[in-house]
Amino acid sequence: MMPSFEIVNMPPKSVAVSFNFYSLAEMSPATIRVYVARVTHGYFHHVTHNSHAVLSADNFGVEKRGFKLVTRQLAGWTLGINATSDEYEYLYQAG
């Protein structure tokens, strides 16, 4: 685990599995591009809100960075906290 600003100090394609919880919606498209595609050579997993975000996770542009969507599903584990949850889990594989 590390802060996102440290990603630029990592070797390219050095991470087999990377994940992000809730902060992609707060990043610019350029930052998302670096965060997702620069260091990950395997899988990228993220969880985020959709309808309550300025930029929906469906529009983060992960597929444009060479990743294929494997699964997109409602994060059911959050329904116990919020029955109307709009939190989704996404799993992508580098192509």
b/e map of 23-37 (b: 16 or more CB within 10 Å)? ebbebeeeebbebbb
Whether the predicted pLDDT of 56 surpasses 90: no
Rounded to two decimals, what is the model's pTM? 0.82
Look at 78 and 18; give whichever has higher pLDDT: 18
Length of the chain as a residue count: 95
| 44, 94 contact by CB (below 8 A) | yes
Which of the four pLDDT bands, split at 50, 70 and 90, describes residue 28? Answer: confident
Can you say how many angstroms the Cα of residue 67 is from the centroid of all Cα atoms in its chain? 11
**Half-sphere exposure (Cβ direction) of 61: Cα atoms closer than 13 Å:** 16
How many helices (H) and strands (E) are present in the chain, helices listed first?
Answer: 1, 4
